[in-house]
Structure 1
Amino acid sequence: MATLCSGGLDTGFASLDYLQIGILGVIQGVSELLPISSTAHMRIIPALLGWQDPGSAFSAAMQMAALAAVVSYFWRDIQQVVGGTVTAVREKDYSNPWFKLAVAIILATIPICIAGLALAPLLNACNSPLRGLMVIGGVYLVMAVLLAVSELTCRHQRTMEQMRLRDALIVGIAQVGALIPGVSRSGSTLTAALFLNFKREEAARFSFLLGLPAIALAGLKEFWVLAHANIGAEGWQHLAFGLVIASISAFFAIWGLMKFLERFSTWPFIVYRAVLGVFLIVAVTKGWLPA
């Protein structure tokens, strides 16, 4: 299906109906916080169902739903980070663990901010090559292998209190990969933290807290871009509806993932990624799906 553009921005979501937006909202909310890439699913599902590609701007703006879910779920942690940082600065006690966590989050956010600004014209462009299903399929396989290696070779014994600034920077650099559809922000940061021997639930916790500034900045930037793209009142209504549905879905997704990782490994996500990656590559090669 042809890409819809407004001022060079992919705005395909404006042509979808509310049922389609609602379905994509559920998928976005769930896949944004699981290590399976929401951006990829926003490309894959419409392609399978023959719908208009909603576009990367829609995916980025809808990340604000994940922001609402993470803030709600980790509200106590956020209060402690903010309160601990204020107390540390006021008392000049820079050994405060919550202050250290705040610094780690800020440091780890810098790489994706720089890369996001540099790659924005390519990421949001109509017919961006990075949104090709063959590219997504290949990325899915690569991430499945990396996550599998982290499960097989790492000890998973460290807690977030043991995180050093070097660890935070490594996870932050890994987060840059999330700009490529199929990598997954939570998947890239979770995998990096697992390679650093963090416990699964601790790796997920840092991944979600780290995602707050990145998701907020990306979402606000995308809303700013959309505000200048003349998408019309109906387009904004679609976004609002999708955000509500995605927020509810995201909260249940984060609750389920945290409970899951307390008891189990990430192997179900590894298998899912590998199977979907192979399917996409075969489907594009056979001509069942567009490249």
Structure 2
Amino acid sequence: MDWLIAIFLGALQGATEFLPISSSAHLRIAGLFLPGAEDPGATFTAITQIGTELAVVLFFWRDIVRIISKWFGALGGKVAKDDPDVKMGWLVIIGTIPIVVAGVLFQSLIRDQLRSLWITATVLIVFGLILGAADIWGRRVKTLETITYRDGLLVGVGQVLALIPGVSRSGATVTVGRALGYERPAAAKYAFLLAIPAVFGSGLYETYQAFTEPSSIGLGWGPTIVATLVAFVVGLVVIKWLMAFISRRSFAPFVLYRIALGAVLLVLLAAGWIQPL
């Protein structure tokens, strides 16, 4: 049974990681209806996110290789420091700092108190509305080539909010990007590139923790690895679809979905049919 649950959760992780609807919230909610009705946990979520982040690396492989090679080339004086790819390398580094600091300072809060379904339901609705507002009223003229270090840092600050289940990493970062006036594809691409070091860092740290505290991984190593592989395959399909979708459509369907899901959760919690922790 654990293997079937792992496949389901891996598919769910891959399907929701890149959409602005919060993969961690969906894994948290799914745990309520699985045999044993247990939260898969922050460790399982972080490890399976490695799979979806590998999908990002594969999808943007040429961009990533070019950015890294030029960034190191600039350090050696072989590439101009004002090269756009060199700048993007620094933007990813600068934008990652806020979530690293927050992850270290608030680790216990992230793993325990913030996983309350009351919080998840509330932020699904609130940040859904914020995303909708930013998408509608945000200017749509800035491209990825024009992104500034200030804007990159602000998007990085937005990524910190993704530590709360229900906010959504892509949702938070894209919302800030849209509010700052960036086109949807530009906001999404920077959001995905920015997530790479944060997600891999978190996933590798939780993997280490799982070795030292085996009970923290919940389903066990075998099913978790399978879930991560499934998340990679499904995530690759979803990211290709999403980048094509947002080039011609708004985020409105995701906003409506977030509000509906959050409202259903609040009703279930208020009725006592599900427990917040």
TM > 0.5 fold call: yes
Distance 1:28 1:241, change over 3 A: same
Q: Determine which of 120, 125, 128 is the counterpart of 2:107.
A: 120
- 1:88 and 2:88 matched: no
Equivalent of 1:147 in 114, 123, 131:
131
Structure 1 position 33, deviation (Å): 1.3
How big is the alpha-carbon RMSD for the aligned residues of Structure 1 and Structure 2?
Answer: 1.6
SS at match of 1:150: helix
Residue pair 1:48, 1:289 contacting (<8 A) in 2 also: no
Aligned equivalents of 2:155, 2:258: Cα separation in 1: 21
The Cα shift of 1:234 comes to 7.4
Answer yes or no: is 1:106 the counterpart of 2:90.
no
Size of the alignment, in residue pairs? 273
Name the SS of the counterpart of 1:57 in structure 2: helix
Match of 1:244 in 2: 229
Q: Which residue of the other structure, out of 50, 53, 72, is the alignment partner of 1:67?
A: 53
Q: From 228, 240, 249, give the equivalent of 1:264.
A: 249
Which SS does the other structure have where 1:205 is aligned? helix
Q: Helix, strand or coil: the match of 1:62?
A: helix
Counterpart in the other structure of 1:200: 184
1:228 aligns with 2:215: no
CA deviation after TM superposition for structure 1 residue 49, in Å: 4.2
Question: CA offset at residue 36 of structure 1?
Answer: 0.8
Moved more, 71-80 or 229-238: 229-238
Counterpart for residue 161 of structure 2? 177
Task: Provide TM-score, normalisation by structure 1.
Answer: 0.90
Aligned residue identity for 1:154: G
**Cα separation, 2, equivalents of 1:272 and 1:245:** 24
Deviations 1:212-261 (A, max 9, x none): 10011001110011110134997111111111111101101111110100
Separation (CA, whole Å) in 1 of partners of 2:22 and 2:82: 36
Partner of 2:29: 44
Partner amino acid for 1:132? S
CA distance in 2, matches of 1:49, 1:22: 12
Which whole-Å CA distance do the structure 2 matches of 1:103 and 1:234 have between them?
A: 38
- The CA distance in 2 between the partners of 1:157 and 1:45, in whole Å, is 39
Q: Do residues 32 (structure 1) and 22 (structure 2) align?
A: no
Distance 1:234 1:210, change over 3 A: closer
- The alpha-carbon deviation at position 83 of structure 1 amounts to 1.9
Deviation at 1:92, TM superposition (A): 5.8
Q: Is 1:187 the equivalent of 2:174?
A: no
Q: Secondary structure at the match of 1:263?
A: coil
The 2-side partners of 1:233 and 1:62 are apart by 13
Separation in structure 1 between the aligned mates of residue 38 and residue 218 of structure 2, nearest angstrom: 19
* Distance (whole Å) between structure 1 residues aligned to residue 224 and residue 132 of structure 2: 36
Identity among equivalent positions (%) equals: 37
Distance 1:17 1:235 in 2: 8
Flag structure 2 segments of 5+ consecutive residues without an equivalent. none
Query: How far off its partner does 1:207 sit?
Result: 0.5
1:57 aligns with 2:43: yes
Distance change >3 Å, CA 173–CA 234, structure 1 → 2:
closer
Distance 2:93 2:115 in 1: 29
Output the amino acid matched with 1:157.
Answer: V
Distance 1:267 1:66 in 2: 24
Equivalent position amino acid for 1:39 in 2: S
What is the CA deviation profile of residues 263-282 of structure 1, one whole-angstrom value per residue up to 9, with x for unaligned ones?
Answer: 10000000000101111111
